Amino acid sequence: MGERTQYTPGTFSWADLNTTDQDAAKTFYGALLGWELTDTPAGEGVVYSMAAIGGRWVGAISPQPQQQRDAGAPPAWNSYVTVEDVDAAATRAQELGATVHAPPFDVMQAGRMAVVQDPQGAWFLLWQAKDHIGAGLVNAPGALVWNELGSPDPDASAKFYGDLLGWTTTPMEGADPPYLVIQNAAGHSNGGIRPPAPPGTPPFWLVYFATGDIEASLAEVSKLGGTVLVAATDIGIAKIAVVTDPQGAVFALYDGALDD
C-alpha cells in the first residue's frame, strides 16, 4: 500500500468532490470504495466530509458552491497538486497564461490553496500543506491512483505544467491516440496527458480510484445509481473504466498493478 506522510512538490496529493447532494454522494462512495466518512465543520451550516480507509485519509466530499450551481456547472472531482509556496506558484501560473480564480487563501490550519484554470481550460488546485499533507493512503483499493488531463493541445499543456511544476513528460510507446506520462521532479510517474475523449469534451483532470475487481465495481456503480460511460478496457498493465456518480460527477476506476 502507498502510505504517505509527505509529498514531493509537484505531486498530486488530494482529491475532493463538489456535489449537489452531499449525503447521497457519501452513501454512493462509501458503498463503492469502502470509505469511512467523517463530517468536519467548514463554515455556517456547511460540513466537509473527510473519507478514510483504515484510518488514513483518501479524499473528501463537499457541497458544490452556489456560484457553480448558478453557473450550471456539473458536480466534479477536484485534483490538488502540492507546491512548496502556493503564493509563488499562483503568481507563476498567471505569468504562464493561466487564470487564478481564487487567489491563495488559508484553509484554517490545514494548509493554503489556490484555484487555477490552465491556459487550455482545465481546473486544478494548488496546495501548500500545513497540518494536512493530503491523502495518507494512495495506490490502494478505494484510494487515488492516477490523475489524467484531457487537453486539446497536450504539448502546450505539458509545457505549461512543466514550467509551473517541474514536470517532465514521456510519450507512451505505441499509444493511439498519443499519451504523455508525467514524471514529477523526483522522477516518479505522476499522471498523464491525452487528447479529449470523446473529441470535443471540455478540458478537465480525471481522477482514478483503484479497485481490486473492476467488473464487480462497475456492477456496483450501476446498482447504486451511477452510470458506466466507458466499460472496462484492457490497457495492458491494467483494466480501466470511466463512470459517473448519481449526481453526474465523472471519475475513473483502475484495476491493475499498484506502486507503493
Measuring CA to CA, which residue among 177, 188, 153, 172 is closest to residue 237? Answer: 172
Measuring CA to CA, which residue among 83, 8, 90, 19 is closest to residue 48? Answer: 19
Break the chain into its structural domains and give their ranges: 2-129, 141-256
**Percent of the chain residues topping a pLDDT of 90:** 87
**Helix axis angle, 22-33 to 214-223, nearest 10°:** 150
pLDDT in tens, 225-245: 999 999 999 998 899 999 999
Map residue 235 onto helix, strand or coil.
Answer: coil
CATH of domain 141-256: 3.10.180.10
Q: How far is CA 233 from the centre of its chain?
A: 20
pTM for the structure as a whole: 0.96
Map residue 27 onto helix, strand or coil.
Answer: helix
Same fold, 2-129 and 141-256: yes
Instruction: Work out the pLDDT band at 42, boundaries 50, 70, 90.
Output: confident
CA-based Rg of the chain, rounded to a whole angstrom?
A: 17
Average pLDDT in the 3-16 region? Answer: 97
pLDDT exceeds 90 at position 175: no
**Helix axis angle, 154-165 to 86-95, nearest 10°:** 140
pLDDT at 61 (0 to 100): 98
- Superfamily for domain range 2-129: 2,3-Dihydroxybiphenyl 1,2-Dioxygenase, domain 1 (3.10.180.10)
pLDDT in tens, 81-132: 999 999 999 999 999 999 999 999 999 999 999 999 999 999 999 999 999 9
Q: Are 136 and 4 in contact (CB under 8 A)?
A: yes
CA distances to 46, 91, 182 from 94, rounded to whole Å, are: 31, 5, 22
Q: Are 100 and 154 in contact (CB under 8 A)?
A: no
pLDDT at 1 (0 to 100): 56
